[in-house]
Amino acid sequence: MSDQQQKEEQIEKMIANIIGDSLERVAEIRIRAEYEFQEAKKKIVKEEKERIDKEYKRKTNQVKIEKRIAQSNLINQSRLKLLQAKFRFVQQILAEAHFHLSMIFKNEQKYKKILETLITQGLLKMMEPQVILQCRKCDLKLVKEVLPASIKEYTKRTDQICKVVVLESKFLPPPPQKGSKKPSCSGGVVLNTANGRITCTNTLDYRLMLAYDGLLPKIRTILFKDEIFDKQNEKKIEIKKDEN
């Protein structure tokens, strides 16, 4: 074998070795690239799955919250409607009480005794030497009839003298009329000091409202079996009722 042939053979072997090494490197690169691709793919899939799970939980929680809010709103609306119905019913009873109260004056003897008591109570509450008394125009005659007895009772209890002036230039509103929205008064009196600084309202309407405010929890317990009366809720209903 000539030197030239040997050189060519060596060159061919070198080329073969280079090609072999290159193929091995290419295979290694492909394997590594495939591995890195799979790892990157796993990471992306995992991150995306976690993102989807997180978003699903967020939306699920949001749906639960919205559902609870909707249920709470329905419950609150139902409670409000119930409170409004109760309020209207109590107001209806109060209106009936006002009506019956306005009929008391038709029994003159009974009403005279009530007037005498109301005047005496007012005098005892004010404890003033001079008082101006205001009544309804239709009660003027009865007031003048019972006034001496009231003053006598006041003096008996206090050992003091009180001069009472019945105001005849300005009267309390007249008795309520069915269907009328004008100011009215079911009876009773209003007492003022001469300078007008102290006032004692002792009308039947005022006394009814005092009794209403004081007995309302018991009234609601009797009517609705409510153990606790929520005054604040009633105020809200009154405000809403006025707005409508």
Distances in Å between the Cα of 191 and the Cα atoms of 173, 186, 200 are 15, 16, 5
Whether domain 107-212 has CATH 3.30.2320.30: the reply is: yes
pLDDT tens digit sequence for 72-101: 999 999 989 988 888 888 888 888 888 888
Q: Which pair of tokens denotes residue 133?
A: 């008394």
Q: Confidence band (pLDDT; 50, 70, 90) for 112?
A: very high
pLDDT at 103 over 50: yes
pTM over 0.85: no
DSSP 28-73: HHHHHHHHHHHHHHHHHHHHHHHHHHHHHHHHHHHHHHHHHHHHHH
Average pLDDT value for residue range 157-173: 95
Integer Cα distance of 207 and 114 in angstroms: 12
Average pLDDT value for residue range 124-153: 96
Amino acid code (one letter) for 1? M
pLDDT tens digit sequence for 136-146: 999 999 999 99
At 219 the pLDDT is 80
Q: In the chain, what are the domain boundaries?
A: 1-102, 107-212
CA angle centred on 73, ends 71 and 75, rounded to 5°: 70
Mean pLDDT lowest for which of 9-18, 193-202, 223-232? 223-232
Q: Where are the alpha helices (DSSP H) in the chain?
A: 3-102, 108-126, 140-158, 204-224, 231-243
Q: Which pair of tokens denotes residue 33?
A: 């690239």
